[in-house]
């Protein structure tokens, strides 16, 4: 087993530059969780942003990635593709407090635009993808693999232990078994010095050992314990008695 390095962060905190916000009535600053925060500290190598749809977790995640210099639709600063300019612009109003020296690598992976990212990777010149070339992406077209296989290929080949990684709903393509495989890969990478910030709905991923969970709810971001989260309670109730739960939701 690879020896584990002392835990460290490359991103210490993110601050909303309130004096530069044009209007709190306009998107994305009209989202309560965005409007409410001043400074968010990252205290653990793995941070999960969770909450119901529309609470702002993915918008904040995208803003962090863009403020870091990553492409809004996914990838690193070496990717500049854009199929639709729909990102929020939040990144221009965030200040990131980073470590010195910083991360040697970074990558933004988002489920909703992964197809576009895979296409952009295929269109890259081999000299533009780093010294390892296609080895960084598993030496096989991501389009020639299943959605879940291509996700895991990225995790296992592209990411390393000296990087900062932003993941938006990585569970979207993964079965429960593959989600547990992702936990294992992340645990290994954290032991080698990596940092992750992740937006997710998955109770499985949220159980990552040593992770910090931040819940976007009621117009604020607050720390939450795994077993108090609604995603976990609802999943437990359903698995314990699916018939009873379905009787409540079906006409």
DSSP assignment of 82-134: -SS----SGGGGEEEEE-SS--SEEEEEEGGGHHHHHHHHHHS-GGGS-TTGG
Between 221 and 47, residue with greater pLDDT? 47
Question: Domain tally for the chain?
Answer: 1
Taking the C-alpha atoms of residue 81 and residue 130, their distance in angstroms, rounded to an integer, is 18
Question: Average pLDDT over the chain, rounded to whole?
Answer: 83
pLDDT at 12 over 70: yes
Query: Looking at residues 206-212, what average pLDDT do you find?
Result: 95
Q: Is residue 4 part of a domain?
A: no
Q: Is residue 3 part of a domain?
A: no
**Residue linked to tokens 């300019």:** 85
Q: Is residue 5 part of a domain?
A: no
pLDDT in the model for residue 6: 63
pLDDT in the model for residue 172: 85
**Each residue of 83-107: pLDDT tens digit?**
555 567 899 999 999 998 889 889 8
pLDDT at 115 over 60: no
Taking the C-alpha atoms of residue 7 and residue 4, their distance in angstroms, rounded to an integer, is 8
Rg (CA), the chain: 18
Question: Running DSSP on this structure, what letter comes out for residue 69?
Answer: T
| Both tokens assigned to 153 | 């290929």
**Each residue of 161-190: pLDDT tens digit?**
889 999 999 898 789 999 999 999 999 999
Q: Is residue 129 part of a domain?
A: yes
- In this structure, what are the phi and psi dihedrals at residue 229, rounded to the nearest 5 degrees? -80, 140
pLDDT at 57 over 60: yes
Which structural domain, as residue segments, surrounds residue 115? 11-249
**pLDDT band, residue 42 (cuts 50/70/90):** very high
Q: Is residue 176 part of a domain?
A: yes
Q: Is residue 159 part of a domain?
A: yes
Q: Which of 2-11, 41-50, 223-232 has the lowest mean pLDDT?
A: 2-11
CATH of residue 75's domain is: 3.40.50.300
Between 212 and 32, residue with greater pLDDT? 212
| Both tokens assigned to 241 | 């008695």
Q: Is residue 2 part of a domain?
A: no
pTM for this structure? 0.84
Residues 219, 221, 227, 233: what is their CA dihedral angle, to the nearest 10 degrees?
30
**Each residue of 14-38: pLDDT tens digit?**
999 999 998 999 999 999 888 888 9
Angle of CA points 141, 74, 36, to nearest 5°: 155
Q: Is residue 148 part of a domain?
A: yes
User: To 10 degrees, what angle do helices 242-249 and 230-240 make?
Assistant: 110
């Amino acid at each position: 087993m690879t020896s584990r390095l002392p835990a460290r962060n490359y991103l210490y905190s993110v601050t909303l530059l309130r004096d530069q916000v044009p209007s709190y009535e306009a998107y994305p600053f009209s989202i309560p969780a965005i409007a409410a925060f001043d400074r968010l500290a990252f205290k653990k190598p793995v941070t999960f942003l969770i909450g119901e749809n529309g609470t702002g977790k993915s918008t904040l995640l995208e803003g962090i990635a863009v403020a870091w210099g990553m492409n809004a639709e996914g990838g690193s600063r070496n990717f500049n593709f854009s199929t639709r300019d729909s990102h929020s612009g939040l990144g221009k109003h965030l200040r990131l407090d980073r470590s010195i020296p910083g991360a040697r690598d970074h990558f933004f992976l988002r489920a909703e635009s992964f197809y576009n990212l895979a296409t952009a990777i295929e269109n890259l010149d081999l000299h533009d993808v780093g010294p390892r070339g296609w080895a960084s992406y598993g030496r096989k077209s991501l389009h020639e693999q299943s959605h879940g296989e291509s996700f895991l290929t990225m995790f296992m080949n592209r990411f390393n232990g000296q990087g900062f990684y932003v993941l938006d709903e990585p569970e979207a393509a993964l079965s429960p078994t593959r989600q547990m495989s992702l936990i294992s890969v992340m645990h290994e990478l954290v032991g080698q010095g990596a940092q992750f910030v992740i937006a997710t709905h998955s109770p499985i991923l949220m159980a990552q050992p040593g992770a910090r969970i931040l819940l976007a709810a009621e117009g604020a971001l607050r720390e939450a314990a795994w077993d108090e989260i609604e995603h976990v309670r609802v999943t437990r109730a359903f698995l314990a008695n699916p018939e009873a739960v379905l009787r409540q939701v079906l006409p």
